[in-house]
Amino acid sequence: MKLRFLSLFSGIEAASVAFAPLGWECVGFSEIEPFPCSVLKHHYPNVQNLGDVNDITDEQIKQLGHIDLVIGGFPCQDVSLAGQRKGLQHEDGTATRSGLFYRAVEIADATKARWVVIENVPGLFSVSEGRAFASVVGGLVGCEIGVPTDGWRNAGFALGPKGLVEWAVLDAQYFGLAQRRKRVFIVRDSGNWRDRPPLLLERESLRRDNPPSREARQDVTGSLSARTNGGGGLGTDFDIGGGLSRPLRAQPNCSHRDDSQTYVPVTSLCLNGGGQRRIDGESETFVAHSLRADGFDASEDGTGRGTPMVPEIVSQAMSAKWAKGSSGPSGDEVANMIPTQNMAVRRLTPTECARLQGFPDDYLDIIHRGKPAADGNKYKALGNSFATTVVAWIGRQIEKAVEGGL
């Protein structure tokens, strides 16, 4: 089934790369940064770039024709742990740059698309004491949503007049990419969500990587209605005039993960050929970094800043330790090994960074302002982009739901 989608905050258009195998059609972009605009023009010359989201008109949206899905990752500068944490609004009530989320919802509502897919950093859960994420979910479902007393969890759902919203933190390392990159993905379904299972969520008991047992607890927030209407695929009831929000013990759906292969824990990193790769029973590995807008960051929480560097020797010296499904070397083992054997440290190439996000090797090898694109532009554009394989999996889930196979 061929779906038509509108891409907001398009960047270098990870959505089109992700949805291309599904045969979906992009009807329009919205991007203003010079280098990403050059990338869009190079790869998608027949797709209109509508420019600034603030300038998109209802008439322009109408001219795009039928739209099934709107997708976008609104700016994260004001919600990221590495930013100033201003939230979605300034003290005077005006929108911050991250507050462009509200404009994205207006555009999505104007398209009357059944599906909306939003991506951002997990810092969105905690900024403004949780009120920002409550505003995001409330804006998507069309009613006010409260903040849970113990904060937002990494997965959940909400119901309201505009439909069903699911959210989950998905990590790129479980989608065939060689980096730890956790992002919160939010999907709104304004169609017949009652006749399908969840897209992003599954019971904890069905997961292959479920954590140790926890104490039983209840977490219900938001304005609960009188439960006068029939429930949906998530086993809940709600009144169309109100809404329900529930952070779940259920976790992000990991049924896509292929446990028939041994995945190297991404305290190490497979780069050769892109993705987590098995060669003759052994793993090719490097030291892990997480992709950021300004390059790569070696810190666990993704809040620090760094340059994309990798020790050349790690792959050869440590492959035996990381093969056969072992838990990998300790930090001391890696540290003791680094100064030895005339190790050379080099910068990750733009090609390797493209692989970390699931792009073709030469995707950013374009002419920009009359010259071959500079590495700095490539690093920044890739750091700001989606992990394409994660978005591709969400697309397949949506396709199954549309075709009734989910």
Average pLDDT, the chain: 74
d(CA 251, CA 167) in angstroms, rounded, equals: 10
- Residues 157, 127, single domain; the answer is yes
d(CA 4, CA 18) in angstroms, rounded, equals: 13
For the entire predicted model, the pTM comes to 0.73
- Residues 392, 335, single domain; the answer is no
Q: For residue 189, is it within any domain?
A: yes
Q: How much is the pLDDT for 358?
A: 96
Cα–Cα distance list, 348 to 271, 286, 328, 345 (Å): 10, 11, 22, 9
- Residues 280, 253, single domain; the answer is no
Range with lowest mean pLDDT among 65-69, 149-153, 392-396: 149-153
Task: Count structural domains, the chain.
Answer: 2
Q: For residue 157, is it within any domain?
A: yes
Q: For residue 376, is it within any domain?
A: no
- The yes-or-no verdict on residue 365 having pLDDT over 90 is yes
Q: How much is the pLDDT for 278?
A: 30
d(CA 376, CA 356) in angstroms, rounded, equals: 16
- Residues 299, 253, single domain; the answer is no
d(CA 22, CA 254) in angstroms, rounded, equals: 20
- Residues 219, 352, single domain; the answer is no
For 1-12, the pLDDT digits (tens) are 799 999 999 999
Q: How much is the pLDDT for 249?
A: 41
- Residues 28, 63, single domain; the answer is yes
Q: Residue 33's closest CA among 6, 9, 15, 57?
A: 9
- Residues 93, 57, single domain; the answer is yes
Q: For residue 29, is it within any domain?
A: yes
Using pLDDT thresholds of 50, 70 and 90, give the confidence band for residue 244.
Answer: low
Q: Residue 6's closest CA among 31, 26, 21, 33?
A: 26
- Write out the two tokens for 320: 């035996």
Q: For residue 377, is it within any domain?
A: no
Range with lowest mean pLDDT among 33-37, 51-55, 275-279, 340-344: 275-279
Q: What is the mean pLDDT of residues 226-243?
A: 34
Q: For residue 368, is it within any domain?
A: no
Looking at residue 202, which CATH number applies to its domain?
3.40.50.150
- Residues 346, 395, single domain; the answer is no
Would you put residue 311 in left (φ > 0), alpha (ψ -120 to 50) or beta? beta
Q: For residue 365, is it within any domain?
A: no
d(CA 275, CA 355) in angstroms, rounded, equals: 7
Using pLDDT thresholds of 50, 70 and 90, give the confidence band for residue 185.
Answer: very high
- For CA atoms 339, 340, 346, 348, give the dihedral sign: negative
Using pLDDT thresholds of 50, 70 and 90, give the confidence band for residue 332.
Answer: low
Asked if 135 and 127 touch (Cβ cutoff 8 Å), the reply is no
- The yes-or-no verdict on residue 331 having pLDDT over 70 is no
* More confident position, 354 or 316: 354
- The yes-or-no verdict on residue 360 having pLDDT over 90 is yes
- The yes-or-no verdict on residue 266 having pLDDT over 70 is no
- Residues 275, 250, single domain; the answer is no
End-to-end Cα separation, the chain, in angstroms: 14
- Write out the two tokens for 19: 């949805």
**Of 342, 359, 376, which residue is a domain's last?**
359
- Residues 243, 315, single domain; the answer is no
Any idea how long the chain is? 406
- The yes-or-no verdict on residue 362 having pLDDT over 80 is yes
Q: Residue 235's closest CA among 203, 188, 190?
A: 203
For 127-179, the pLDDT digits (tens) are 888 999 999 999 999 998 999 888 898 999 999 999 999 999 999 999 999 88
For 189-217, the pLDDT digits (tens) are 999 998 888 999 865 433 334 444 444 44
Q: For residue 374, is it within any domain?
A: no
- Residues 302, 247, single domain; the answer is no
Using pLDDT thresholds of 50, 70 and 90, give the confidence band for residue 345.
Answer: low
For 85-96, the pLDDT digits (tens) are 888 888 888 888
Q: How much is the pLDDT for 344?
A: 59
Q: How much is the pLDDT for 150?
A: 86
Q: Residue 144's closest CA among 246, 244, 247, 248?
A: 244
- The yes-or-no verdict on residue 316 having pLDDT over 50 is no
- The yes-or-no verdict on residue 284 having pLDDT over 50 is no
Instruction: Provide the residue range defining the domain that includes 117.
Output: 4-257+386-403
Q: How much is the pLDDT for 169?
A: 95
Which residues are bridge partners to 269 per DSSP? 286
- Residues 94, 59, single domain; the answer is yes
Q: How much is the pLDDT for 202?
A: 64
Using pLDDT thresholds of 50, 70 and 90, give the confidence band for residue 16.
Answer: very high
Q: How much is the pLDDT for 233?
A: 37
- Write out the two tokens for 341: 């054997």
